[in-house]
Structure 1
Amino acid sequence: MTIKITNKLFLFIWIKHLSRMIIRATLGCMKLADAVTLLGKGGPFRHLATMARNNNFFFRQLFDSDSSTYTYLLGDTSSKEAVLIDPVIEHAERDATLIKDLGFKLVYSMNTHMHADHITGTGKLKSLLPGSKSVIGKASGAKADIHLVDGDIVKFGSHQLLASATPGHTNGCFTYISHEQCMAFTGDALLIRGCGRTDFQEGSSQTLYKSVHERIFTLPDHFTLYPAHDYKGLTATSVGEEKKYNPRLTKSLEEFVKIMDNLNLPYPRKIDESIPANRVCGLFLNKTLYIHNTLKR
């Protein structure tokens, strides 16, 4: 009798331990406590399809040294559908070549906002990779094939990004969140130990502070954050890091506004060419080059 009870106890402990290992492996980016909470809300079968980290996810971070802009290529290695976040026009050929080399089909080229420091590559990529569509937030006022509003879902293969409105740097800023992969692409709303400026393009320090604290800092601490820029060679951060170490956004709202009001930053070097071009999906530069080349002949 004692042996039977011991065996049952051993079996119970073994199954419990095995379950925990399965949870850790399947919900790789989630904390164990979060996984247990999920199991307590209807069992694993209802949640794992959307929350489990898939092994067919492709991720590549690219860089433009002139504007210190990061471009992100995300793809589904099974369906071969891919999206590109914040492409730069000077690197459109580079990005198109990489996408072709990897066997991907570009579904969407997306902007986190209407940039002031470079011209987007979305328009040029549409000509290089026919069938791809340009995407930007509706509030930006820029032309695109698809205009996002808060809460929209962008799908590519079995993966998806949640479009979360995070205005403040500009009125049309979006953060793209992958809950499956525990990552978010914050644009200029939140930088590594910093944030985007708020003194142009209908920017607002109060709005930016609210966006970051309510839309980004409310994500789990272990979520990895990928900004649109970095000027010190850093490539990524996390929600937990920024909540603890960001020198601006750890302050009170009043202190944050005061900091932003006294940055005294220079006028953006490329804003006068970037904004008009980006209002028309980056096609302004293409048109200018076309006219120039035609006259040259």
Structure 2
Amino acid sequence: MIFRQLYDITSSTYTYLLACEKTGAAVLIDPVFERVQRDLALLKELNLKLEFALDTHCHADHVTAAWLLKQKTGCQIGTAAVTQADEVDRPLQHGDLLAFGQESLRVIATPGHTNGCLSFVSTDLSRVFSGDALLIRGCGRCDFQQGDAKTLFQSITEQLFTLPAECLIYPGHDYNGRTVSTVAEEQAFNARVGGGASEQDFVGYMAAMQLPHPKLIDHAVPANLKSGRPDADAMPAEPSWAPVYFTFSGVPEVTVEWVLNNRERVQILDVREAHELESPVDRLVDTRIIPLAELRGQTDSLSRDRPIVCLCRSGRRSAMAVNILQKAGFTEVANIAGGILRWQELT
């Protein structure tokens, strides 16, 4: 199975990508609205097709990207049926099986943090994605969205702690840089529910917590009850001057094919060195040539009247050129994917 653990620093949220190596069918668990560009780029680079965008619960600290991912990829949205969220294609119940290619996840109902919390476990019981029900050395709070400490204790001890001791636990959040635990570790060391804690111990601990109201709850919960569908005026801005897409490293790119068909609409900036342009085969007509090492000192000489697309041999140096231009205030700028190597394949 292809597996990636992704992180949103603003909300300390983990997003998980799982995919079938043989078919490329993929699942994203707990995607974040502001990180949809990153997630789409990773899917593209790994040549994966998203089948499901899954949420472990109705989040109070961030807005899900499920709806946006559905618009971009045609995937299905899955979350707990009890949540009764709009736009959901798969209202999930305990025991449901989600197949993607030759892989699958089993749904486990683990309420208590909220009444609609789910965990997703691999069918070989080697990994469980526990959302906020069970965190590393902690658990989700129980003081809003129909949360209940007794219910959460039962979810953890009767569902998650009955998985194999070596089963890896991947939580929905971590605020201290921890990435993974195991059932055995949490049974032994979890500060709230481990070490043989009784239900009374756990409920007493949770009742004594005095946590501030989540800052985004009044915005996040209503948005997540719509699966993250934004109002029309709140859609994330996208470049309109070209079919720009972004790499996983965050670089905006356009294809050589698009540039060839739209040369009159853009400025081509070639950042190769002079010795690379000695052959007529390598030099393009109607391009501006500024070697990368000299670009920072010459950005003011470039016109802002037309978008700029940057070129080098392979597309690596020109990606840095895009970064330099963006820092200089150019907004309509992109890298030519594949550089002159790809250009020469097509011409």
Change (3 A) 1:115 1:194: same
- Checking the alignment, whether the CA contact within 8 Å between 1:126 and 1:133 is kept in structure 2 is yes
Residues 81/286 of structure 1: CA separation in 2 closer, same or farther (3 Å cut): farther
* Aligned residue identity for 2:142: T
Structure 1 residue 206: deviation in Å? 0.1
Cα RMSD over matched residues? 1.6
Deviations 1:218-237 (A, max 9, x none): 00100000000000000000
Alignment-mate amino acid for residue 253 of structure 1 = E
Q: Is the 8 A contact 2:93 2:109 kept in 1?
A: yes
The residue aligned with 1:138 is: 81
Correspondent of 1:125 among 69, 78, 88: 69
Q: What corresponds to 2:200 in structure 1?
A: 254
TM-score normalised to structure 2 length: 0.66
| Bigger fraction of residues in helix | 1
Q: Supply the AA of the counterpart residue of 2:123.
A: H
Deviation, 1:110, is 0.3
Deviation at 1:247, TM superposition (A): 1.2
Map of 1:176 onto structure 2: 120
> Structure 2 CA distance, aligned partners of 1:290 and 1:157?
31
The answer for the alignment partner of 1:59 in structure 2 is: 3
Deviations 1:154-210 (A, max 9, x none): 000111100000000000101100032600000000000000000000000000000
Distance in 2, matches of 1:63 and 1:288, equals 27
In structure 1, what is the equivalent of residue 55 of structure 2? 111
Counterpart mapping for 1:1-297 below 5 A: 57-129=1-73, 131-143=74-86, 144-180=88-124, 182-250=126-194, 251-283=197-229, 285-290=230-235
Return the offset for 1:270: 0.5
**TM-score if structure 1 supplies the norm length?**
0.77
8 Å Cα contact 2:111-2:118 kept in structure 1: yes
Identity level (%): 45
Equivalenced residue count is 235
Distance (Å, rounded) in 1 between the aligned partners of 2:235 and 2:94 = 36
Q: Secondary structure at the match of 2:133?
A: coil
Segments of structure 2 that go 5 or more residues without pairing to the other structure are 239-347
- Rg (Cα) greater in structure: 2
Which letter does structure 1 place at the counterpart of 2:133?
A
Q: 1:290 to 1:178 in 2, by over 3 A?
A: closer
8 Å contact 1:171–1:202 — kept in the other structure?
Answer: yes
In structure 2, distance between residues paired with 1:286 and 1:72:
26
Unaligned runs of 5+ in 1: 1-56
1:98-127 deviation digits (Å, cap 9, x = unpaired): 101110000000000110000000011112
Q: 1:290 to 1:156 in 2, by over 3 A?
A: closer
